[in-house]
Amino acid sequence: MDFFISLFSDPIGFWSSHSLLIGQIGINGIIATSMFLVLYSGQLSLAAPGFMAIGAYTTVLMSNHWHTPGVLNTVVAALLAGVLGLLVGLPVLRLRGVFLAIATIGFIEALRLGVILNVPFTGEGLGLSNTTGADPLGGINIILLSLIAVVFVIWRLTKGRLGNAWAAIRQDELAALSQGIHVARYKMIAFVMSALIAGYAGALESRLLFNIDPGDAQYGVTRAVQVLTFAVLGGSGFVLGPVVGALIVTLLPYIFGGAGPYINIVAGIFLIAVIIFRPQGIVGRGGLAIVRPSWWPRARVSAPSTE
Amino acid sequence: MGQQILNAIFIGSIYALFAVGYTLVFGVLDILNLAHSAVFMLGAAVTYSLVVNYEQSFWVACIGGILASALMGLVIEHVCLRPLRRRHAPPIAALISPIGLALVIVAAVEQGKPGSLAGWLWKDGANSVAFPPGAIPNPTWHVGDITLEASKVAIIPIAIALMLLLGYVIRYTQVGRGLRAVAENARAARLMGLDVDRMISLTLVISSALGGLAGILFGVALSDISPYIGRDAVEVRGLAIIVLGGMGSVAGAVLGGYLLAMIELLAFVAAGSSARNGIAFAALFLMLVLRPQGLFGTRLRERI
């Protein structure tokens, strides 16, 4: 609880003493937005950690070998992730639902265990030292500004023509196709944009780390499941949902700080409770109602799904 | 080489047993039960705990481990899945709630130290342990340059017999007909007077008992029991196997388990241990791209 009291009693001190945590929340928010984009267009893709790895390794390799400025590295990293997104998307986007999820898990694990662990210049299992590029304190403002910019852009897109097409595809792909929506193209746009954003988030995240390594919690399935949790917990019907999910999940160790070593038990129970009482996500239809009284007019929960 | 092929068959049997439970739940419910790898770990952990901390004989401990896993299957259904079905929740929600339960199970075992809240369940924290020598009857034979340990050799007939039994139950018995009816169309099955909730509970109990048994066999054969064996050994491989065999197909999962073990062996021989996992996942990726219905599947389901 001290954590939250200090947020209000001493905001400036809070900011400087928890800057790394704030940075991590910002990064997770950006990745959650990347996840939102694929879910919003009806694709259950878990490829984000793979693109993050591409972004992070590109940034660190460029700054270590060529000593190029961080801005250039970040841009190149994001673009490279986008290009890879296009290459991966071409064969993979024919798949739907859980098949797409498993195929993208195959992609991230093949990248992490097959490529990164075996190519000499990635430092293999030990990872890469990032002493030249890391800037944990200076990176926070850029991260938070990026989060706001990314969320704003995606929010505008979902309100426009593109967003309508995505929503139509998510609700019924066949109907969208019969209305003349180029389903494959719009899905690819969402997938590539999501890869771009994930690559950008990976590049930004590498600035918080003095050493990047191909750990499971960093670029593997564990991370992918965590990002999916952000999106589903927060609600994938509105841009801010996944960001709220990222905020809550990242803060869980602080919210339940009193649980001590049993934090994961409490966090797991919390996760189940939220999903059961608000299956449409925290930010979703139904206002703030947690449990409806039985006499309340019932509406079917209709959250966007990737069905 | 002969020894390696034999080992691949042992580990393939464990993969198959694990994946059969996974695919059974997917076939009936169209849901990936992401808590299955935690149940796998729980089976091994409970059995180890009964043998070492409660000084039971191995056979009693095995039954205890399988019962604990089956019970966890009921918990998955009643806590994570049934409330969501009642609320007509979007299918993606049912992917996340078992993840929460898996987090709880793994954390409970992980925090099990003497004197802690979960100390009655597990005493070794996050450490990896093995059954003490002598706890398991384990005669060993030598044939040529191949070593046959009973604890490993026994896995093959156990796995095959159980899978044949499951196949028989699903195909020829009244219960099996009920399961297939629910898998085909839960709504129609309910209209025909089937108790759908009970069938789904039964599916999760069978699936989790098989998963727990796979965990026990893994712990016995590989001498490695820790809170993380589910996550590290079978979580993602299980997905690969059910894709290889065709989602929802029990026979496919069995063959997929042996196939994945063979692919890993070939990758190990060809490229060394560090490339093994990468090649297995690259194979999975290619498989999904080229033949998404799996090697033995005939039709493609598109639901979660």
pLDDT over 60 at A151, yes or no = yes
Question: Yes or no: is domain B2-127+146-290 CATH 1.10.155?
Answer: no
Q: What is the pLDDT of residues B78-128, one digit of tens each?
A: 999 998 888 888 888 888 899 999 999 999 998 888 877 778 888 888 888
Nearest to A159 by CA among A301, A23, A40: A40
Q: Report which of B153, B82, B16, B156 is spatially closest to residue A275, judged by C-alpha positions.
A: B82
Residue B147's pLDDT is what? 77
Confidence of residue A54 (pLDDT cuts 50, 70, 90): very high
Distance CA A133, CA A209 (A): 9
CA A113 to chain centre: 21
* A13 or A240: which leads in pLDDT: A240
Contact state of B292 with A94 under an 8 Å Cβ cutoff: yes
Distance CA A32, CA A20 (A): 18
Chain B residues inside the 8 Å CB shell of A261: 111, 116
What is the model's pLDDT at position A193?
Answer: 95
pLDDT at A206 over 80: yes
The amino acid present at B77, given as its one-letter code, is E
pLDDT > 50? residue B303: no
Asked if A138 reaches chain B (Cβ–Cβ under 8 Å), the answer is no
pLDDT of A63 above 60: yes
Alpha carbon distance A86, A64 (integer Å) = 27
Q: Which of A200-214, B243-257, B278-292 has the lowest mean pLDDT?
A: B278-292
Nearest-Cα residue of chain A relative to residue B235: A221
Handedness of CA A114, A115, A121, A125 (dihedral sign): negative
Least confident of A190-194, A269-273, A295-299, B167-171: A295-299
Q: How confident is the model at residue A281 (pLDDT cuts 50, 70, 90)?
A: confident
CB–CB of A229 and B116 under 8 A? no
Q: Are B70 and B209 in contact (CB under 8 A)?
A: yes
Contact A263 B277 (CB under 8 A): no
Q: How far is B226 from chain A (nearest CA, A)?
A: 17
Between positions 161 and 200 of A, the ones with CB within 8 A of B are none
Distance CA A96, CA B157 (A): 37
Does the pLDDT of residue B131 top 50, yes or no? Answer: yes
Q: Is the pLDDT of residue B57 over 80?
A: yes
Q: What's the one-letter identity of residue B216?
A: I
Average pLDDT value for chain A: 84
Q: ipTM of this predicted complex? A: 0.85
pLDDT for A165: 92
Question: Which residues of chain B have a CB within 8 Å of the CB of A174?
Answer: none
Q: Looking at the predicted structure, is the pLDDT value of residue A144 above 50? A: yes
Residue A293, pLDDT above cutoff 50: no
For residues B21-49, give the mean pLDDT. 91
Mean pLDDT of B35-47: 94
Distance CA B72, CA B48 (A): 17
Per-residue model confidence (pLDDT) at position A292: 53
Residue in chain A nearest B100 by alpha carbon: A268
What per-residue confidence (pLDDT) applies to A117?
81
Higher model confidence: residue A156 or residue A114?
A156
Section A68-90 average pLDDT: 91
Give chain B positions within 8 Å (CB) of A88.
none
Mean pLDDT of chain B: 85
Tell me the C-alpha to C-alpha distance, in Å, between residue A142 and each of A287, B159, B263: 33, 55, 45
8 Å CB contact of B89 and A110: no
* Domain ranges (residues) in chain B: 2-127+146-290
| Percent of chain A's residues with pLDDT above 70 | 91
Taking the Cβ of residue A252 and every Cβ of chain B, the question of whether any pair is shorter than 8 Å is answered with no
**How confident is the model over B60-80, as a mean pLDDT?**
94
Is A304 in CB contact (< 8 Å) with chain B? Answer: yes
Are B126 and B226 spatial neighbours (Cβ–Cβ below 8 Å)? Answer: yes
Q: Which of A107, A229, A265 sits opposite B285 (nearest CB)?
A: A107
Least confident interval from A91-95, A179-183, B193-197, B258-262 = A91-95
Higher pLDDT, A197 or B129: A197
pLDDT at residue B300, as a whole number? 47
Distance CA B285, CA A103 (A): 5
Cross-strand partners of A212: A128
Task: Give the per-residue pLDDT at B114.
Answer: 80
What average pLDDT does the segment B198-219 reach? Answer: 93
- What integer pLDDT is reported at residue B297 of this predicted model? 59
* pLDDT score, position B302: 40
**How close A161 comes to chain B (CA, Å)?**
25
| pLDDT of amino acid B280 | 74
Q: Which residues of chain A does B281 touch, with a Cβ-Cβ cutoff of 8 Å?
A: 105-107, 109-110, 113-114
The arithmetic mean of pLDDT across residues B45-56, rounded, is: 90
pLDDT tens per residue across span A90-125: 888 888 888 888 889 889 988 888 888 877 777 777
Instruction: Give pLDDT tens digits for B248-270.
Output: 788 888 888 998 888 888 888 88
Check pLDDT > 60 for residue A304. no
Weakest-pLDDT range from A92-101, A243-252, B142-151, B218-227: B142-151
Q: What is the DSSP string of A77-91?
A: HHHHHHHHHHHHHHH
A35: contact with B, CB 8 A cutoff: no
Question: Can you give the pLDDT at residue B301?
Answer: 46
pLDDT at A303: 54
Contact criterion met (CB below 8 Å) for A60 and A212: yes
Mean predicted confidence (pLDDT) in B132-148: 77
Q: Other C-beta atoms within 10 Å of A122: how many? A: 20
Asked if B260 and B241 count as a contact pair (C-beta separation under 8 A), the reply is: yes
